Chains A and B, each alone.
Chain A
Amino acid sequence: MTVKTITRQDVVDFLYTEAKILDEWRLKEWAALFTDDGTYKIPPIGDPEASATKSLFYAHDNRDRLQERAERLLKKEAHVEYPHSTTVHNYNNILVSNLDSDVITVECNFTIHRTKREVMDTFIGKHTYELVEQDDEIKIKSKKVVLHLDSLRPHGKISLIL
């Protein structure tokens, strides 16, 4: 039984660091924030508890695919993000639960702006994380992105890591 030393402030700092990494397009570092069995999921709009066999998700990544997603977006041939769009990830209303258990749960609202070719799109919604401590570091076991939008209009795409 390890003694938990993670504080709420550590969790908040971790989240802000993730947001900064994403805004700086350091996507390999982002993938490295996940555990070996980490997952990244974006369920269908309006159905956050959907089953992945009955409904179509936007993203349903295991550790391999989230790595592929990150690496793809860094390539020049990921045309939709070449040159990279400018993004601002803002995290608010951070609620940390189960600080003293093995898996820390965090919920936060997000507002993510993306601008490219003089068009700005805004994504809003709620992130749910499961965080664990591994080798004295916080790691993401799962990240679920619930979009609070009516549809992907006018955005048309999710070509960044939300």
Chain B
Amino acid sequence: MNQFIRDNVEKSEFLVHRSVFTDREILARERAEIFNKCWLFLGHETEISELGDYRRKKVGGRNLLFVRSQDGEIRALFNTCPHRGALVCRENEGNSRVFRCFYHAWSFKNDGELVGMPGKDGFPEDFNNDGTKNMKAVNRVENYRGFVFVNFDENAISLDEYLGNAKEYIDLVVDQSEYGLEALGGIQEYSVRANWKLLAENSVDLYHGMPTHKTYFDIKQDQDPNLKRVQLEGEGVELDNGHGVIEYVAPWGRPVAQWTPIWDEELKNDMEEMKVKLAERFGEERADRIANYNRNIVIFPNLVINDIMAVTARTFYPTSPGYIEVSGYSLAPKGENEAHRMARNNNFLEFLGPAGFATPDDNEALELCQEAYNNNEEVEWNDISKGMVRGEGNALATDEVQMRNFWRQYNARIQASLNKEKEVAQK
């Protein structure tokens, strides 16, 4: 099976072959063509705000150390000793000038430079003059407004170019704060027993909102009977390089400027003031967009930034076709006052996160998809054509253009690699 997508605009039908969720060879190809070549989210710069701060990260199947070295540079060091390969740093996070591998006690500065080793007389005098015995760093590390990415392909286009017109939407998220966003403690490390692409889809899928999350909306309506009037309305947009977004209004509180009755009355006035300030900074129209509209952004392949009832960033990586490791972050305005932060965090917990009132139901849906892909031999295709009849430029937020765009990019990368192989075979 080498045709994974059927993209029939005339018939308004878009199909994805279900083997892409279950086939091990396809996962190997994804590692080579997607995870080894695309920009992947490493972390938020505020996780390592002080010199010497570090955190262990698993990105693209690698063990990395996300570190702010003594020279102030943010680096991604491969967490492996150049001597015999052991994991050098075993703590999940901390602050240190030096990392020491316990196996033979080689020590490295927090920029990776080898600075000590026992039994030096057993090595040549010019040992490591070429730097090959330093901890290796990822060559391409770039930062967009606090979001730090790595790319394992040294020839990759710049992050700026890669993000393309997705930057407009990241800007809208970050601009809600005058001082930028910060990552809160307690990054949520969980998993889903499903294929990674299902979570990318689900994250920009507003169509599932009502049926999957009915219990959440029931609770919202009990808290605020006026909410019955608010629907999930907006648009779906395809962005460059497989990125996509839905932008819409929703009946939950937004801690920027949309008050909700579970919050203290006092916050209402604060939020009005915040809105006025936003208008001063950006004008009425942009302030309205920042404050009142929700955004779910998927940055191809595996970063999701949801600016909804709180701001969450999620990244995820497959260990097998049917299992992903997810890291979920909460981002909030730097310097936010305590009452607002508490309201925001309560809002987050009520919907998001692995113990929230919604996210576990998403994961259940993805796991049920994965389980039923046992029927792939006979039932081969997923349908992702909602809204095609409207034309791809007129999609509603509850349509699926942003997902088709993901799949078109996915298909282009995978097909290019298949074609190259075919050419080689024919020669």
Interface residues of A (CB under 8 A from B): 42-47, 50, 52-60, 65, 68-69, 72, 75, 77-80, 117, 119, 151-159
Contacts and interface: CB of A to CB of B under 8 A. Distances in A.
Contacts, number: 110
B126 interface: no
Interface residues of B, number: 41
Contacts of B341: 53
Contacts of A156: 190-193, 326, 354, 363
B349 A58 contact: yes
Contacts of A153: 189-191, 325
B193 A119 contact: yes
Nearest to A59: B355
B2 to A, nearest CB: 32
B184 A152 contact: no
B189 A158 contact: no
Given A45-B189, A80-B363, A158-B355, A57 B349 contact: yes
B357 interface: yes
A159 to B, nearest CB: 4
Given A72-B216, A80-B361, 15 more contacts: A45-B189, A55-B185, A56-B184, A57-B186, A58-B188, A58-B355, A68-B219, A78-B215, A152-B354, A153-B189, A155-B191, A156-B192, A156-B326, A157-B360, A158-B355
Interface in B348-365: 348-350, 353-355, 357, 359-361, 363-365
Contacts of A52: 342, 345
B19 interface: no
Interface of B: 92, 184-193, 212, 214-216, 218-219, 323, 325-326, 330, 338, 341-342, 345-346, 348-350, 353-355, 357, 359-361, 363-365, 367, 371
Contacts of B219: 68, 72
Contacts of B92: 46
A75 B365 CA distance: 16
B34 to A, nearest CB: 22
A56 B346 CA distance: 9
Contacts of A44: 185-186, 188
A151 B189 contact: yes
A77 to B, nearest CB: 4
B357 A69 contact: yes
